[in-house]
Amino acid sequence: MTYLDHAATTPVLPEVVAAVSEALSKTGNASSLHTSGRAARRRVEESRETIAESLGARPSEVLFTSGGTESDNLAVAGIFRARRAADPRRRRILAAALEHHAVLDVVENLVTSEGARVTWLEVDDFGRVHADTLAAAIAEDPTDVALVSVMWANNEVGTVNPVRELADVAHAHGIPFHSDAVQALGQLPVDFGRCGADALTVTGHKIGGPTGVGVLLLRREIALVPLVHGGGQERGVRSGTLDVAGIVGLAVAVRDAVGHREERAAMLARLRDQLISAVTNRIPDVVISGDPGQSLVDGGPSRLPGNAHLRFPGCEADALLMLLDARGIECSTGSACNAGVPRPSHVLLAMGLDVRSARGALRFSFGHTSTSADVLAVAEAITPVVERARRAALAGTRRR
């Protein structure tokens, strides 16, 4: 099987499986006061320290959550509510138009139910938010902004944003800055202290860790209203019994992702470039979306090394996906509705593409288990698959 959907989820690292299994075999609520409770708490705190050290944060800045979506919701809604409570004028949220739905939808929910206003930050044709765009949006009225949220690297097209520059622009007006770094971790140099963000979203299952556990890195001085109320765990910001085994597994995965980032990023970029040239040689009219990846952003690559986002003119993405799946190659079409129907990607639309051009888009994403055999498999399959998908699309238009 050729698994090229690491941006959706990654195979779990064997050492994570071992660490989680071992932790699961031990009893203890990390909030209990007795011996096994203290032992559980120790495993949590050691994991927190490992994660903090790996990500350039202080242990007290590491808040455990259920994953990327919760971290994004907690940051956006939590900071918005705290800022508005402190100053009722601050109810405008600035966010990139191609954020993940975990940010988009919580923003829209705050607009409909809590009187928030939103300014969607425009992106360029690569999908990047520029500092002057953010500066102009803030300048409309710097006194009414609650927070800014811009993802570190886009999950669909892989374009990297200049997070430090953007954070500086927000900070010049004393505005908190959040970034979703779910895709960035393990592929880009993610350092919480250095990047300037006030809140950073991280999740386990994109880096060989368990699903259902993640982190919100949050500076101590940032006030935040919790989403979940209860036992007051995690500085009172995120109640709920701590998932000790998941947290232990997450720490192993984060340490691995950061420790092996440089050589792995180089390997991923090599495989990605091989894939792009193999496909381009066979399908000359294929189009690559997002940043070409040839420049630097804040000292790192301008595109996620493991991301190849390709558009096949004249094809329907779901036909391509099915035909590749039948040949044992797994990739992604981007977003689908809850019934499973592929929808035109809001990311591609935000980048200025029309619905028609957005239609034949596939994302191949590499990760820690990828090899050149995966590239070969795609190279062998792509010509007949694209030809067949084109015939199928024509069969559809002939009837109309």
Partner 1 sequence: MRVLAAMSGGVDSAVAAAMAVDAGHEVTGVHMALSRSPGTLRTGSRGCCTVEDAFDARRVCDLLEIPYYVWDFSNEFAEDVVADFLAEYAAGRTPNPCLRCNENIKFAALLDRAIALGFDAVATGHHVRLRDGVLHRSVDAAKDQSYVLAVLTADQLAHSMFPLGEMTKQQVRADAARRGFAVAAKPDSYDICFIPEGDTHGYLVDKLGARQGSVVDALTGEVLGEHDGFFAYTVGQRKGLHLGRPAPDGRPRYVLGIEPVSGTVIVGPASGLDVTVITADRVVFSGGESPAFPLRTVAQLRAHGGTVRASADLVDECVRLTLDAPIRGVAPGQTVVLYDPGDRFVIGAGTIIRAG
Which CB, 24 or 336, lies closer to partner 1?
336
Q: Which residue has the tokens 């993802």?
A: 151
By annotation, the residues acting in catalysis are 337
Choice from 44, 319, 375, 377 touching partner 1 (CB under 8 A)? 319
Site for partner 1 in 327-386 (CB under 8 A): 336-342
Sort 192 into a burial class: Cβ within 10 Å, 0-12 / 13-18 / 19+. buried
Choice from 322, 349, 376, 379 touching partner 1 (CB under 8 A)? 322
The candidate with the shortest Cα–Cα distance to 88, out of 115, 110, 111, is: 115
Q: For residues 30, 17, 46 and 211, what is the CA-based torsion angle, rounded to 10 degrees?
A: -70
The token pair at 164 is 């430090």
Choice from 168, 318, 330, 380 touching partner 1 (CB under 8 A)? 318
**Residue 389 interacts with partner 1 (CB under 8 A): yes or no:** yes
The site for partner 1, by CB under 8 A, has a size of: 23
Which CB, 85 or 326, lies closer to partner 1?
326
**Residue 394 interacts with partner 1 (CB under 8 A): yes or no:** yes
DSSP state of 257: H
Choice from 125, 141, 325, 354 touching partner 1 (CB under 8 A)? 325
The candidate with the shortest Cα–Cα distance to 286, out of 307, 316, 309, 311, is: 311
- Kindly report the backbone phi and psi dihedral angles of residue 365, in degrees, each rounded to the nearest multiple of 5, phi listed first: -130, 130
Residues 95, 85: contact at Cβ < 8 Å? Answer: no
Shortest approach of partner 1 to residue 209 CB, angstroms? 26
Q: Which residues of 210-237 are buried (b: 16+ CB within 10 A; e: fewer)?
A: bbbbbbbbbbeebebebbeeeeebbeeb
**Residue 87 interacts with partner 1 (CB under 8 A): yes or no:** no
Which CB, 23 or 389, lies closer to partner 1?
389
Q: Which residue has the tokens 């809140």?
A: 199
Q: Which stretch binds partner 1 (CB under 8 A): 65-73, 297-305, 321-329, 365-373?
A: 321-329
**Residue 1 interacts with partner 1 (CB under 8 A): yes or no:** no
Shortest approach of partner 1 to residue 385 CB, angstroms? 10
Shortest approach of partner 1 to residue 389 CB, angstroms? 7
Which CB, 252 or 389, lies closer to partner 1?
389
Task: Give the CB-side neighbour count of residue 323, counting CA atoms within 13 A.
Answer: 21
Residues 168, 94: contact at Cβ < 8 Å? Answer: no
Which CB, 373 or 395, lies closer to partner 1?
395
Write out the residues near partner 1 by the rule CB under 8 A: 318-319, 322-323, 325-326, 336-342, 388-389, 391-392, 394-396, 398-400
